[in-house]
């Protein structure tokens, strides 16, 4: 989220998280401190939320980014809900980027079912290995068509 905020100096970034203790340092306070250190603290909003049930309006965001998060959701049904929710909150013409090291083909299929355009799946290379070449990180990229061109 902080990198995305830095790439859009005129925009804001909203980051949902459950803030569970499953990851080292996963606290809202730590994220806000990092945002301030990166110079984007004034444009970052954190929301306690589950990816499977986002508390945002339909078509609220220009860009939706997820990095190494969706695989943490248990079960295919839960991960499918999260991908559908990411697409639901994306504005017409908006872009979605979902990086993960599992299930990329399934995520792409869900996005196609939602009516996403330009769905692509590609390897992010050795810098994104998750522990080695056996767990490569894959990007799923998609665009939401213009109003009237899609389903949700």
Q: In the sheet where 90-100 sits, what is the strand order? A: 61-67, 90-100, 138-143, 117-123
Has residue 112 got a pLDDT over 90?
Answer: yes
Residue 9 pLDDT level (bands cut at 50, 70, 90)? confident
Give pairs for 115-119: CB < 8 Å, separation 24+. Answer: 115/144, 115/145, 115/149, 115/150, 115/151, 115/152, 116/87, 116/142, 116/143, 116/144, 116/145, 116/150, 117/142, 117/143, 117/144, 117/145, 117/149, 117/150, 118/142, 118/143
> Which letter does DSSP use for residue 146 in this model?
P
- Write down the mean pLDDT value for the chain: 90
At residue 105, the pLDDT reads 95
Is residue 82 within 8 A of residue 52, CB to CB? The reply is: yes
Terminal Cα distance for the chain, rounded: 24
* Partners of 96 in beta bridges: 64, 142
pTM (two decimals): 0.88
What is the CA 52 to chain-centroid distance, rounded? Answer: 12
Specify the DSSP element, H or E, that contains 94: strand 90-100
Has residue 150 got a pLDDT over 70?
Answer: no
At residue 131, the pLDDT reads 75
pLDDT in tens, 43-102: 999 999 999 999 999 999 999 999 989 998 999 999 999 999 999 999 999 999 999 988
């Amino acid at each position: 989220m902080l990198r995305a905020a830095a790439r859009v100096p005129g925009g804001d970034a909203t980051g949902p998280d459950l803030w569970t203790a499953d990851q080292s340092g996963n606290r809202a306070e730590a994220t806000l401190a990092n945002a301030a250190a990166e110079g984007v603290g004034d444009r970052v909003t954190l929301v306690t939320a589950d990816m499977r049930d986002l508390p945002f309006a339909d078509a609220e965001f220009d860009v939706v980014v997820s990095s190494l998060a969706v695989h943490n959701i248990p079960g295919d049904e839960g991960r499918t809900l999260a991908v559908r929710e990411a697409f639901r909150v994306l504005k017409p013409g908006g872009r979605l980027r979902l990086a993960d090291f599992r299930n990329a083909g399934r995520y792409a299929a869900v996005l196609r079912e939602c009516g996403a355009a330009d769905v692509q799946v590609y390897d992010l290379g050795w810098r994104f290995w998750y522990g080695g070449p056996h767990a490569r990180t894959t990007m799923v990229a998609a665009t939401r068509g213009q109003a009237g061109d899609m389903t949700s």
